[in-house]
Structure 1
Amino acid sequence: MTKKQARTIRISNAGFTLLEIMVTVVIIAILAMIAMPMYSNYITKSKARSAGADLVALGLVIESLYQRNLSYPVPAVNPTVSTAKTQEYASAWQPAETDTFDYTANAAATSYTLTATGKGRNAGCNLTLTNKNIRTISGGSGCGGLSSW
């Protein structure tokens, strides 16, 4: 006589419980709540720094024109009223931050003041540069907390 052996079926408990998944989701949510504002502030600050670099580049173009003529060129409409008019005034200048800043120039034969005014994400952020390399910034949170440039 042959005996039939009973077959045992093993059920493995592979996978995660609902509690483990919920704990993981909560941890990810907490990390996201901390990281997103920091990242947003970083982007705002980097755009303000880029606008400052645009102003310095514009200043270099105007100083180059000064070296050729021994006076600062005066724009047709003084001060310029938009970034496009500022680009007409200093045609060799190409700004990087036209989406978040408007650039204007106010010039006389012996001096100039360049201004970057924030819009959108950088609303309220104002950067200025003069021919004497005096740099000012105002706007606090509009500049991402940047206090100097």
Structure 2
Amino acid sequence: MDMTKQRPAQRHSAGFTLIELLVVVAIIGVLSSIAYPSYVDHVRRTRRVAAEGCLSALAQQLERFYTTNMTYVGFAGAPNCDPKITSDFYNIPAPTLTARAYTVTAAPKGPQAGDSCGTLTLDQAGTKSPSTAGCW
């Protein structure tokens, strides 16, 4: 064998081919199209739970007032909630009061308006609406 012949140098490529880059971009696109809607739904449910907590806290204030005064009429409290929830995502008006009954509501607004549960209500008997599974 003739050892004087040299082999041509092998070329080593540095970097990615266009095909490899397109495959990675496609995979990222598919993953994000699945993950983003799930993330948005989770954020919406988290805000709804915060509004439910607001309504429950307001209901407790009403019950304390009733225990002291034997009527709901005259209650002038406000929900002790995260101001971000009440200013940006839910409208929580003053409760509807009678001597022996109340109804508190939280109506979604802004980015929360697309919530499938809609307006949340709670009354003195503990009745929550909507009664759809997952809303309360």
TM-score bracket, normalised by the shorter chain, equals 0.7 to 0.9
Note the C-alpha offset of 1:11: 4.7
Note the C-alpha offset of 1:64: 1.0
Tell me if 1:95 matches 2:81. yes
C-alpha RMSD of the superposition: 2.3
Q: TM-score, normalised to structure 1's length?
A: 0.73
4+ residue runs over 3 A deviation? 8-11
Q: Match for 2:80: what amino acid?
A: Q
**Cα distance per residue 1:23-50 (max 9 Å; x no partner):** 0000000111111111111111111111
Aligned to 1:32: 32
Note the C-alpha offset of 1:12: 2.8
**Gaps (5+ residues) in structure 1?**
1-5, 76-88, 141-145
**Cα distance per residue 1:66-120 (max 9 Å; x no partner):** 1111211335xxxxxxxxxxxxx214x3222111001121011111000100101
For 1:29-108, list aligned pairs within 5 A: 29-74=29-74, 89-91=76-78, 93-96=79-82, 97-98=85-86, 99-104=88-93, 105-108=95-98
**Cα distance per residue 1:105-149 (max 9 Å; x no partner):** 1011111000100101222620000000000028x8xxxxx6431
In the comparison of the two structures, how many residue pairs are matched?
Answer: 123
* Highest RCO, 1 vs 2 (Cα 8 Å, sep ≥ 6): 1
Distance (whole Å) between structure 2 residues aligned to residue 73 and residue 90 of structure 1? 11
Q: Match for 1:32: what amino acid?
A: S
Percent identical residues: 32
Tell me if 1:148 matches 2:131. no
The answer (yes or no) to whether the contact 1:65–1:73 under 8 Å persists in 2 is no
Q: TM-score, normalised to structure 2's length?
A: 0.79
**Gaps (5+ residues) in structure 2?**
1-5
Distance (whole Å) between structure 1 residues aligned to residue 124 and residue 74 of structure 2? 13
The answer (yes or no) to whether the contact 1:44–1:122 under 8 Å persists in 2 is yes
Aligned to 2:127: 134
